[in-house]
Amino acid sequence: MKYARQTQEALERLDQALAQLRGLIKRGDNKGAISFMEEGALKERFGDLQNIISVSSTNPIGSRGTAPQTGRL
């Protein structure tokens, strides 16, 4: 449950960052948009989500909180 909540929150933050990027592009601020993608919030949000996914794939506990060898609930 915690993994799902963390993932959903990270996706929402990424969505907000993409909306900000869209606003920069729509206003014609290409330099600001590039900076936002390469050094700003969009890069951070993507990194946060990537870290959550990476940690979940190396953790032996499944997303339901059970070890893989216990089988289906």
Tens digit of pLDDT per residue, the chain (73 long)? 688 888 899 999 999 999 999 999 999 999 999 999 999 999 999 998 888 888 777 655 555 555 555 444 4
Per the domain annotation, does 48 fall within a domain?
A: yes
Containing structural domain, residue 47: 2-55
| Sequence-separated (6 or more) residues with CB below 8 Å from residue 14 | 42, 45, 46, 48, 49
Q: Which of 55, 52, 49, 56 is nearest to 17 (CA)?
A: 49
Per the domain annotation, does 44 fall within a domain?
A: yes
Q: Specify the pLDDT at position 58.
A: 66
Looking at the 3D structure of the chain, how many domains does it have?
1
Distance between CA atoms of residues 37 and 1, nearest Å: 30
Q: Specify the pLDDT at position 73.
A: 46
Per the domain annotation, does 63 fall within a domain?
A: no
Per the domain annotation, does 30 fall within a domain?
A: yes
Distance between CA atoms of residues 18 and 69, nearest Å: 39
Q: Specify the pLDDT at position 64.
A: 53
Per the domain annotation, does 36 fall within a domain?
A: yes
